Structure 1
Amino acid sequence: MGLQESKVKFLWVLRKRESESLDEGFEERVKERGIVVKQWVDQSRILKHQCVEGFLSHCGWNSALESICYGVSILAWPKIAEQALNARMVVEEIKLGLRVESTCNGMKPLFLKWEGLMKMVKELMEGEMGKQARKRVKQVAELGKMAMADADGSYWQTLDLLINELCNK
């Protein structure tokens, strides 16, 4: 309902068991601006597509890194394990996204109202905070590319230093 009422364009990938609980008629109601996929997809191929500007993510480490590397802002919706910590880092520390509003029990989100999801999807894609997050994540992605650049990048220089240090011991 939150995606439907947000009126933004989206691609929603569902696991088979999740697709069984999809509201009757949802796909028909959003067909002009939304695509629902009910099979496995290559997440990194989707995130690196130039049209993708936001990612509603549980903030698992791999998902967060892929999103950041491809310059896609994150709407964080952590569920378990380290996801809440990753979401906090992404949203509060490095400011590359926003967080959905949910009721919480400590660090674990329990319930998300559709109105809260709608509000934050619209903010990420159309609002000022979302604009700032999208701008910032593009900058961080570019810094990452520079760090990984051929031999001149800081990543390779640091790796060389580590290898030399280990070889000399």
Structure 2
Amino acid sequence: MIVGEWVDQREILNSVMESICLEVPILAWPMMADQHLNARMVVEEIKIGLRVQTCDGSVRGFVKSEGLKKMVKDLMEGERGKEVRKKVMEVGKAAKAAMAEDGSSWRTMDELIDDVKY
């Protein structure tokens, strides 16, 4: 799905979290604002996705259908895609463990609530 208008950033970040928790690799196609930073985080930092390549190799260049097709194929069948799929499974398991009852996120939320309460 391609969204042509402005999208609430929380929804973007939530969809990244949903992808991680469901162990689904991401094909990042940043177009404006801080989407480039989000793509860098997903591709270079966490390594759970691939970035769509532009025609001229620039960050803000055009993407042709052949390039998009190549990246989808690479993500689904290629060696880089294999690494990304393996990594997103690891990260997804860790994220689910953190959010489970008594996981690190659960405990941190409890601590925050306790701090606010008192």
TM class by smaller structure: 0.7 to 0.9
Coordinate RMSD, CA, aligned: 2.6
Unaligned residue ranges in structure 1 (runs of 5+):
1-12, 16-58
Work out which of the two has the higher radius of gyration on C-alpha atoms and give 1 or 2.
1
The residue that corresponds to 1:80 in the other structure is 32
Out of 91, 107, 113, the residue aligned to residue 64 of structure 2 is 113
| 1:83-133 superposed Cα distances (whole Å, 9 cap, x missing partner) | 1111110000000010111157975x2301223222211110001110110
Runs of 4+ in structure 1 deviating by more than 4 angstroms, as ranges, are: 103-107
Task: State how 1:1-169 maps to structure 2 within 5 Å.
Answer: 13=1, 60-103=12-55, 107=59, 109-150=60-101, 152-168=102-118
Note if contact 1:60-1:82 (Cα within 8 Å) is conserved in structure 2. Answer: no
1:80 CA displacement: 2.1
**What are the superposed Cα offsets for residues 43-92 of structure 1, whole Å, 9 maximum, x if unpaired?**
xxxxxxxxxxxxxxxx9323322211211001111112221111110000
Match of 1:87, SS state, is: helix
Question: Partners in 1 of 2:82 and 2:74 — Cα distance?
Answer: 8
Percent identity between matched residues is 55
Aligned length: 112
Q: Please tell me whether the aligned partners of residues 55 and 67 of structure 2 are also in contact (alpha carbons under 8 angstroms).
A: no
Query: Aligned pair in 2 of structure 1 residues 111, 14: CA closer, same or farther (>3 Å)?
Result: closer
Give, in whole Å, the separation in 1 of the partners of 2:33 and 2:66: 26
Say if 2:53 and 2:68, in contact at 8 Å, map to a contact too.
yes
Shift of 1:14: 6.9
